[in-house]
Amino acid sequence: MKVFIIAGEPSGDKLGGALMAGLRELAPHVEFTGVGGDAMAEQGLVSLFPMSDLSVMGLAEVLPRIRMLRARIRETAAAIARAAPDVVITIDSPDFCLRVLKLARAARPALRVVHYVAPSVWAWRPKRAARMAPLVDHVLALLPFEPPFMQAAGMSCDFVGHPVVSEPRAQASDIEQLRAGAHDGPLVLALPGSRRGEIARLAPRFGLALAQALPQNARILVPTVRAQADFMRAQVAQWPVRAEVLVDSAAKRAAFGAADLALAASGTVSLELAANGTPMVIAYDVAPLTRFLAQRLIKLDTVTLVNLVSETRAIPEFLGRDCQPDRIAAALKTLLNDAGARSAQFDAMGLTMARLGQGGTPPGLRAAQSVLDFMALRAGDGPAPAS
């Protein structure tokens, strides 16, 4: 089976790597071409171009790179036409992927397409599913409440579980080693995003909020991706409190397992914190133009995934104009001092992990089985054998 697979973000690359590993386990002769990052490269993918070319978010951030992005869209669609794959799998990054698919489907109308990560039509842009339907046949959903939205638009959809439930956790010895040292106060994580624009926007506010909220004996750790390590260090150096930037993967896992509290940007990181039982405050802002548009599109009272999956509002969040250091600091103080607030978060985090598939078949393998079942049904052979 020939698979053309596309990821445009680090989170999508991780999903792609796990999916590729699952497909190799269930269909050993599978061949891959496409676009991806390090995790997908470990499974044998030679990317057409650096995935980082696509890792931009928000209208204001995209505009300066629009010419390059258009060229990458054309290049990717042409590569699909040349490869003539049995299936195209696009992973998240819908603004890029759907434009690629439009060109690819024009060249090959019978192209079979699977999209991994359902668009957040339950939160904003509800018509996106209807626009996807002419281009996408089957969707792999990360959240248990998403399949009905996709099916209503005319696409088949399986909930395959969220990858956070199968990610490795730190060993108790690593956590103990990290916690050892001169600090006897709370261990706090600061997570102002993985993109340069996010870090530049959020890190100064995070530093001020932590300075206002934490006791002097607090220890602050700032896990980050290697590509942004130097920029993060430069930002943290300007904080009114001392913090340590972590890049090593093992140290970052230990930090998530050891932390008493976290201040984090909105996104999947809230699920990573939940998986480790780390109480959190969420804060996020975007460029003014993007914020102006988002305020008119988002139709929920929360965007934090733990709140949504658990159907609670246990995680405080400060978004847009509310993303202010004094407001964030007040919430951090409450979480440090109020056992009831922490208990409510622990309950919500446990429920979230259970609903996302913790303890079941790994999501990458479930996703691979769903792809093979879809392909078998399209071939008229019935479902593929269970893994």
DSSP string, 197-252: HHHHHHHHHHHHHHHHHS-TT-EEEEE--GGGHHHHHHHHTTSSS--EEE-SHHHH
3-state class (DSSP) for residue 286: coil
- The reported pTM is 0.80
Model pLDDT, residue 297: 59
Domain regions of the chain by residue span: 2-161+361-379, 172-355
**Could you write out the DSSP letters of every residue in 17-46?**
HHHHHHHHHHSTT-EEEEE--HHHHTTT--
Cα–Cα distance measured from residue 327 to residue 305, given in angstroms and rounded to the nearest whole number: 21
What's the CATH architecture for 172-355?
Answer: 3-Layer(aba) Sandwich (3.40)
- In this chain, the answer to whether the domains covering 2-161+361-379 and 172-355 adopt an identical fold is yes
* 143 neighbors 313 (Cβ within 8 angstroms): no
Cα–Cα distance measured from residue 376 to residue 373, given in angstroms and rounded to the nearest whole number: 5
| Sheet with 113-116, side-by-side order of all strands | 31-35, 2-7, 87-91, 113-116, 138-141, 156-159
Token code pair at residue 165: 């439930």
Q: Which CATH class is domain 2-161+361-379?
A: alpha beta
Model pLDDT, residue 59: 46
Model pLDDT, residue 385: 43
Give the closest residue to 19 by CA, choosing from 96, 110, 71, 87.
87
3-state class (DSSP) for residue 115: strand
pLDDT 10s per residue in the chain (387 long)? 999 999 998 889 999 999 999 999 999 999 999 999 999 999 999 999 999 888 655 444 555 667 888 999 999 999 999 999 999 999 998 889 999 999 999 999 999 999 999 987 655 566 788 889 999 999 999 999 899 999 999 999 999 999 999 888 888 888 888 888 656 889 999 999 988 889 999 999 999 999 999 999 999 999 998 889 999 999 999 999 999 999 998 899 999 999 999 999 998 899 999 999 999 999 999 766 666 556 655 666 788 999 999 999 999 999 988 999 999 999 999 999 999 999 999 999 999 999 999 988 999 999 999 999 999 998 875 444 443
* 7 neighbors 92 (Cβ within 8 angstroms): yes
Cα–Cα distance measured from residue 134 to residue 104, given in angstroms and rounded to the nearest whole number: 12
